[in-house]
Amino acid sequence: MNIKTLCAVALTAVSATAFAVEMPEFKLVDIDADGFISLEEANTVAALETTFLAADLNKDGLLDEAEYDQIPRG
């Protein structure tokens, strides 16, 4: 990797942090693939720790894909 590539990678990382909340795909967060994101699974994503409770619209302690999708990002 040359210095130009390194700079590009660094810039990409900085702009991603500045403009978008790090929100991986639902399937990637749903580690046990049961179709719901549990609090434990949510805690693996920094951006989700604070939004989990607010995003859990039906208050069942789990996020389904629809609840996950309505979390504001970016």
Residues lying near Ca ion in the complex (CB under 5 A) are found at 30, 32, 34, 36, 56, 58, 60, 62
d(CA 70, CA 2): 40
Q: Please identify, using beta-carbon distances, which residue of 36 and 39 lies nearer to Ca ion.
A: 36
Six token digits for residue 15: 């702009």
CB 48 within 8 Å of CB 30: no
CB 42 within 8 Å of CB 52: yes
CB of 12 to Ca ion, least distance (A): 30
Q: Please identify, using beta-carbon distances, which residue of 10 and 61 lies nearer to Ca ion.
A: 61
Q: Please identify, using beta-carbon distances, which residue of 12 and 34 lies nearer to Ca ion.
A: 34
